[in-house]
Amino acid sequence: MRGHLPDENGDFVGRRTEVARLEAELTRHRMVTVTGVGGVGKSRLALHTARRIAARYPDGAWWADLTPLQGDRLLVATVADAVDLSDHTPGMPVAALGRWLAARRPLLVLDSCDHLAEPCALLVAELLAAAPALTVLATGRRPLGAEGERVMPLEPMPPTGRDALDLLRLRTSTTTGAGRRDAPGATRAPGRWRSGPAAEICARLEGIPLALELAAAQIRIQGMGAVRAQIGSRFELLVHDERVWPQRHQTLRAAIGWSHELCDPLERLLWARLTVFRGPFDASSAAYVCAGGPLTPQTVPDILEALALKSVVGKEGGRDGGRYRLLDTVREYGAEWLERLGETEAVADRHAAHCLRLARQADAGWLGPDQLRWYTVISELHTDLRTALDRLLRTDPDDALALVGAVGFFWTCCGRLREARDHLEQALLLSGARGSDRARALWALGVALTLQGEFGAAQEVSEACAREARYAEYDAGTAPDAGGGPGERTLDAAYLAGLLALLTGRPTAALVVVGHVLDAVPGGPAASAARLRCLLVRVFGLTGLGRIDEARREALALREVCAELGEHWTRASLDYQLALAGLLEGRPAIAADHARAMLEGKRRLGDGFGVALGLDVLAAALAANGEGELAADVSGTGEAYWRSTGQAQRGVPELRALREKYAHRARETIGSPAYEEIFLRALSGHPQEGLDRALRGSPHR
């Protein structure tokens, strides 16, 4: 299926009428917002409906979760990331997103717009104007106020109806290896639920799905009778007599408060502290951030599982998943308690320190067998890294500089160039720190600017990076040897200068700058990630100068080093160079093998820019080998990937001539009409499916 929608955690229950109505509304209107009180099931309904109707949209259904955003600064970047736009352009992000969607017919789901209603309304208006075939489905507690918006209010389930009872019964059951069994006090006969204690519970909770799920968790623990008694005798005390909220808000808040009362003191404390996490988290992160006082790192995992059993926290990937998440409404309640405890600031600081610690570990683990694992960690931690950066930019800009410098290269490699650039520029502006962290941040910013094609700005940053590296390792005397001298930051600066020279057609300059620094900094190829990157620039420079034999020998030797280290990013780039060398030497079959190896590596790393480059060189190799149909298919897929970066085709200068030469040959092989038909079919198809075909070696027919 094209697009990306999250998995539905748990069975979808009832709501047949609402699903049918939402499907109909999306047929008639380009902009539909599902509104309702917290916990009423807006997100579940939107997700279930989107999955049902995704096939209507040739370019797929895409899900953007706006819950983690604490302001609108990263709204466009979040939506662009959700639709797989790895935008490398330096222009206005909204315009780039509009261009990306303009030629497509997708469904875009914006989930949890409550806190960003006005910015979302403005964004949706611009996108709908730019993309005439776009349909937007939004969820929130209130309408966005966008022009042409169709509002669909979602009410709770009828408290005396079948849907509410079915939801309570399903959530009350537990699953074992042998299948499902009923919880204490439950019954398998639905008819007996309609007039018994379950019906009373549904009525008292007014059919609000989240309230029913919280009650079901307690039924699993205490039994039906005990829960009915508690709701009957104590529930009214938890509802605010002042009627500050509408009745349904009161009921949901009372249900959450009831669950809170049924937690023991340590569970309540952990609940409050967990609210600092904006995205999914694991038990080890919870232990690091939330331990303190009566909560110890050893006890947090068990208490976390107890909260999951009570449905206070959800488990991603089902009850056996390894990651957890708080629902918005539950987080809001817990955050209020954290504020009452006076711990909000302290827990936020521990969370930021945790993210900085992981970022440094990921940076240190770049060169080695854990590289892919750290890519996954940084990707999964993305929401909380942004939260930590926003915190540190306000409270400790120097640590913000260290954090974004450590993850900046991860982000640029994964296509999050705008976001990396935004945070890097802010941290560099706000922090007055000099030395290694500043040099590192300048290096990451320079790479982002270079990949965006802003070569003038990148040149200025490159020069600043070199000056800061000199300050860090000479003037401040922080190099490994006591007397000061060139080290890692100098190698970083040389890599940036070399990369910029390569992409602006100056391979001799690239060779000179990295050669000078490599001679000055002792060590073998595997001495550091920075050294390995400089050696990669050297291989690129040799190829650009036509010294193909040298380039191939050095690339093969470095590739062996990467294989021994378990390193993927540099190895994929070396395969790109070996593919180019094969093409230039007239060995297209070998070139195609290396191009596919590069594509496998870049796909694992989520590097869309690298995939686009790899598809270009693979298309040229296939055309050179007489495989015209497959070359056209791969070329069309490559163009789709280039468009996902927001740019026209790019790459080292020597590839440009090869692209043109072998595209012409492919047209001659199969005829221009056939080439155009295959190319356009691949271009309009799903890029990931085209990449699969390229790796298999079978064209789209």
Quick one: pLDDT at residue 223? 83
Quick one: pLDDT at residue 103? 80
Quick one: pLDDT at residue 700? 59
Signed CA dihedral, 599, 604, 605, 606: sign only: positive
Positions of the chain with pLDDT lower than 70, given as ranges: 1, 10, 86-92, 174-195, 232-250, 317-321, 476-484, 646-656, 699-701
Alpha-carbon distance of 510 to 502, in angstroms, equals 6
Helix (H, G, I), strand (E, B) or coil at 524: coil
Query: What sections of 545-652 are H helices per DSSP?
Result: 548-565, 569-584, 588-605, 608-624, 628-644
How much is the pTM?
Answer: 0.83
User: Which residue, 372, 362, 411, 367, is CA-closest to 600?
Assistant: 372
Tokens of 472: 């860090």
b (16+ CB within 10 A) / e for 560-599: ebbeebebbbbbbbbbbbbbbbbbbeebbebbbbbbbbbb
Quick one: pLDDT at residue 189? 41
Q: Where are the beta strands (DSSP E) in 121-171?
A: 135-140, 150-153
DSSP classification of residue 650: -
User: Is the CB of residue 553 less than 8 Å from the CB of residue 572?
Assistant: no
Alpha-carbon distance of 571 to 568, in angstroms, equals 5
Quick one: pLDDT at residue 509? 96
Alpha-carbon distance of 494 to 557, in angstroms, equals 21
Instruction: Compute and round to an integer the Cα radius of gyration of the chain.
Output: 28
If one counts every other C-beta atom within 10 angstroms of the C-beta of residue 122, the result is 17
Alpha-carbon distance of 444 to 408, in angstroms, equals 5
Helix (H) or strand (E) holding 316: strand 314-316
Alpha-carbon distance of 416 to 424, in angstroms, equals 12
Tokens of 304: 């976390």
User: Is the CB of residue 182 less than 8 Å from the CB of residue 39?
Assistant: no
Helix (H, G, I), strand (E, B) or coil at 435: coil
User: Is the CB of residue 517 less than 8 Å from the CB of residue 540?
Assistant: no
SS (H, E, C) 577-599: HHHHHHHHCCCHHHHHHHHHHHH
DSSP classification of residue 45: H
Q: In terms of DSSP bridges, do strands 174-176 and 179-181 run parallel, antiparallel, or are they unpaired?
A: antiparallel
Query: What sections of 317-435 are H helices per DSSP?
Result: 328-341, 344-364, 371-380, 382-395, 397-413, 417-430
Helix (H, G, I), strand (E, B) or coil at 628: helix
Q: What is the pLDDT of residues 577-596, one digit of tens each?
A: 999 889 888 899 999 999 99
User: Is the CB of residue 549 less than 8 Å from the CB of residue 584?
Assistant: no
b (16+ CB within 10 A) / e for 494-523: bbbbbbbbbbeebbebbbebbbebbeebee
Tokens of 493: 């600066």
Q: Which residues contact 95 (CB under 8 A, 6 or more apart)?
A: 130
Tokens of 489: 């930051």
DSSP classification of residue 73: T
Tokens of 322: 């390894």
Residue type, 505: G
Q: CA separation (Å) from 143 to 28, 138, 330, 597?
A: 18, 9, 22, 49
User: Is the CB of residue 630 less than 8 Å from the CB of residue 699?
Assistant: yes
Cα angle for residues 67, 68, 72 (degrees, 5° grid): 90
CA 574 to chain centroid: 26
Q: What is the pLDDT of residues 533-572, one digit of tens each?
A: 999 999 999 988 989 999 999 999 999 999 999 899 999 9
